[in-house]
């Protein structure tokens, strides 16, 4: 079974490259260029993971993450959310945890680290 990942980032190159890399690793990646687009996509299909840019022109990644998590909970679905940022990771991490996110990835993304975290998370949550 393939795991689905929603990538929400206003930078097209970031989301397209990340989606391509995740697809090559066997994940089903979908992308959205704004918080509103990501929330709309998440309302129409279920995702296992969301990677959300912390700062976008139209939205706050923390607020988008809260909405994603609340919507998933209302549908009795599990969703893991990580923020992505080029800002101070420690500052963003406190906000992320308060919103229910699992953590923060620094930009530029270190793909091996991202893949290792996702793999460990999927292995940990897999039924025994």
**Residues 83-87: contacts with CB within 8 Å, 24+ apart?**
83/51, 83/52, 83/53, 83/54, 84/9, 84/14, 84/51, 84/52, 84/53, 84/54, 84/109, 85/53, 85/54, 85/55, 85/61, 87/54, 87/55
Task: Write the pLDDT tens digit of every residue in 5-61.
Answer: 999 999 999 999 999 999 999 999 999 999 999 999 999 999 999 999 999 998 899
User: pTM value?
Assistant: 0.94
Q: Which domains does the chain have, with CATH numbers?
A: 4-108 (3.40.50.2300)
């Amino acid at each position: 079974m393939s795991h689905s990942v929603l990538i929400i980032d206003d930078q097209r190159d970031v989301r397209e490259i990340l989606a391509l890399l995740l697809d090559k690793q066997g994940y089903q990646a979908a992308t959205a260029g704004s918080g509103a687009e990501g929330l709309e996509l998440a309302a129409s299909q279920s995702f296992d993971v969301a990677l959300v840019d912390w700062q976008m022109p139209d939205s706050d990644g923390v607020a988008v993450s809260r909405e994603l998590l609340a919507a998933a909970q209302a549908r009795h679905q599990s969703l893991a959310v990580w923020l992505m940022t080029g800002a101070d990771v420690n500052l963003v991490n406190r906000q992320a945890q308060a919103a229910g996110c699992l953590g923060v990835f620094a930009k530029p993304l270190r793909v091996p680290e991202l893949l290792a975290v996702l793999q460990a998370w999927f292995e940990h949550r897999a039924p025994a």
